[in-house]
Structure 1
Amino acid sequence: MSTGNPARLARIGTGGRHLIVPMDHGITLGAVKGLKDIESTIDAITRGGADAVLTQKGIAGRVHENKNGAGYICHLNGSTAIGPDENDKRTTGTVEDAIRAGADAVSFHINVGSQYEREQIEELAAVTSEADRYGMPVLAMTYARGPDIDPESEDYNQAVGHAVRLGEELGADLVKTGYTGDAESFQHVVESTSLPVVIAGGAKGTDKETLEMVRGAMDAGAAGVSMGRSIFQHDDPEAITQGVASVLHDDQSAEEAAREAGLAVEA
């Protein structure tokens, strides 16, 4: 490993923990709330304590002047919600593209268990090999998604654990995956890899749901979150980011974090 890899990893986290806000949803969903004036949103979430912002390469120019010293991650594949299959993620850039865009790390999404798994495994492996040549960290977004995977089943955490282990086996530096619903089940996921594990935010929930999910993940041994819509579509992106940061970096309870950030959390 080159010295560049740990140096860049340090730019997208704090003390080995990561609060990443992915804002690449413009490809998937279009210019939804929070992404039209993405400059203001990036300014707010980084003032609130986000360690890094994540976008596609074409948005990089709108990121750097507004990220208040936070790190930048360039995402390298995508799909649309209006296309035939959102799970069919296609390559949108290279590690060299990310370097030219001023990225501190790259990310790549793979749906483990889907009909596209084989191609996505090959593509992620190629990305980690290219990234290694440049000392560029790779965030592998490894989701358990497919016709034989049921998120409501008792053994869902086994599939998610398999997904994060795949990310390590293919050479990633940290992995992102879906939360399994509680700290007890997610502990298996964290123990399935030696890499730092960050959880996805999923669909936008209440402040209480968001902060309790983060608390549960951290109690299970997670290294942070990569949370998009729950943050950038919030009525007060800076406040919710501050709340998440307090749980993640200051080890606060959901209630303490909400109170400090000025969030109204239901009893």
Structure 2
Amino acid sequence: MTITRSVETILSRYEGETPGVKANLARMLMQGRLGGTGRMIILPVDQGFEHGPARSFAVNPAAYDPHYHYRLAIDAGLSAYAAPLGPLEAGADTFAGQIPLILKVNSSNSLMPSASPKTQAITASVDDALRLGCAAIGFTIYPGSSMSLSMFEDIAEMRREAAAKGVATVIWSYPRGEDLDSKAETALDVTAYAAHIAALLGAHIIKVKLPSDHLGQAEAKKVYDKVGIPAASMADRVRHVVQACFNGRRIVVFSGGAAKGEDSVLEDARAIREGGGNGSIIGRNVFQRPREEAMALLDRLVDIYRN
């Protein structure tokens, strides 16, 4: 595998990292139809944990089978497939070596009392990732939760172990907490703050939601207004989030979010591309569609990121 100049440039920004981590980042960046471009599309399927099986898969029953997601990610030429331990184990032998895997090592569930502090349980280990041949571990943090400091400590320790063993770390950074309402969870200032926290924790790939133009923190709003940080378009907002991740020195991918129409998915991808984001990590908007529709949508997304 010959590393392209674009990928070499990205890897050069991860100074001090182990060769194993850089090799696994290269595996994902060189994989599939976007290989070598510096762009990525990742298929994440952890929604069964988060929302339950029927809410996740009943609209497309073929998606109950973990092999379906492996095949979808491979056949569409995606950069990686991310899932919890069980789904990855269910296809690990059949699809060994065909696509880089990201083991989601913590999860929550919607059966928890709504008043409980937002947190996730650790459900897998770095050694599980090594056993399955994964390129990375994935870990969710909730900046804003009263449990966030414990989550930061957990991922700091797991990230240290993973890096020592040559495994990269992807951090899902989703602001949630007792003092954050739904508008604040996707506010531009809060999203950029959450992305920056993930970078500070040592994430090699940072996953956040696309931000709105709302500003959720009074003190931050004063700065945004004074400095005049551009926020009118989604591309402006993506650019600001990427800037918050060490001025673009970290890979940033954006969540596909709740199920939406195809035009909205494609519009989001164009904004990510124009704002300098590295790509999409898109789940429900793919696997909840019939396979032929999903493949066609992913084909269009690839075309957008290849420009």
1:3 to 9, 19, 22: 19
CA offsets 1:75-112 (integer angstroms, 9 cap, x no match): 01001112224832111111111111221111100011
Unaligned runs of 5+ in 1: 252-267
Partner Cα separation in structure 1 for residue 69 and residue 166 of structure 2: 30
Query: Retained in 1: the 8 A contact 2:143–2:173?
Result: yes
Q: Whose Rg is larger?
A: 2
Partner Cα separation in structure 2 for residue 150 and residue 25 of structure 1: 22
1:206 to 261, 276, 283: 261
Partner Cα separation in structure 2 for residue 83 and residue 147 of structure 1: 15
Change (3 A) 1:212 1:68: farther
Partner Cα separation in structure 2 for residue 100 and residue 69 of structure 1: 15
Residue correspondence of structure 1 range 1-267 to structure 2 within 5 A: 1-13=17-29, 14-15=35-36, 16-31=38-53, 32-33=56-57, 34=60, 35-64=63-92, 65-66=94-95, 69-85=98-114, 87-150=118-181, 152=183, 156-181=187-212, 182-193=234-245, 194-235=249-290, 236-248=293-305, 250-251=306-307
The AA in structure 2 aligned to 1:106 is: I
- The alignment's TM-score, normalised by the length of structure 1, stands at 0.86
Hey, what does 2:10 align to over in structure 1? none
Unaligned runs of 5+ in 2: 1-16, 30-34, 213-233
Count of residue correspondences: 250
Partner Cα separation in structure 2 for residue 53 and residue 147 of structure 1: 32
Change (3 A) 1:24 1:120: same
Partner Cα separation in structure 2 for residue 214 and residue 75 of structure 1: 24
CA offsets 1:124-157 (integer angstroms, 9 cap, x no match): 111111111111100011112224335546x921
- What is the RMSD computed on CA atoms of the aligned residues? 2.1
Change (3 A) 1:84 1:139: same
Give secondary structure in 2 for the equivalent of 1:54. strand
Partner Cα separation in structure 2 for residue 228 and residue 70 of structure 1: 16
Partner Cα separation in structure 2 for residue 68 and residue 132 of structure 1: 21
Query: Retained in 2: the 8 A contact 1:75–1:106?
Result: yes
Change (3 A) 1:177 1:209: same
Shift of the alpha carbon at 1:166? 0.9
Give secondary structure in 2 for the equivalent of 1:12. helix
Give secondary structure in 2 for the equivalent of 1:198. strand
- The alignment's TM-score, normalised by the length of structure 2, stands at 0.76
Change (3 A) 1:151 1:247: farther
Change (3 A) 1:68 1:102: closer
* Segment of structure 1 superposing worse, 13-22 or 33-42: 33-42
Partner Cα separation in structure 2 for residue 139 and residue 59 of structure 1: 18
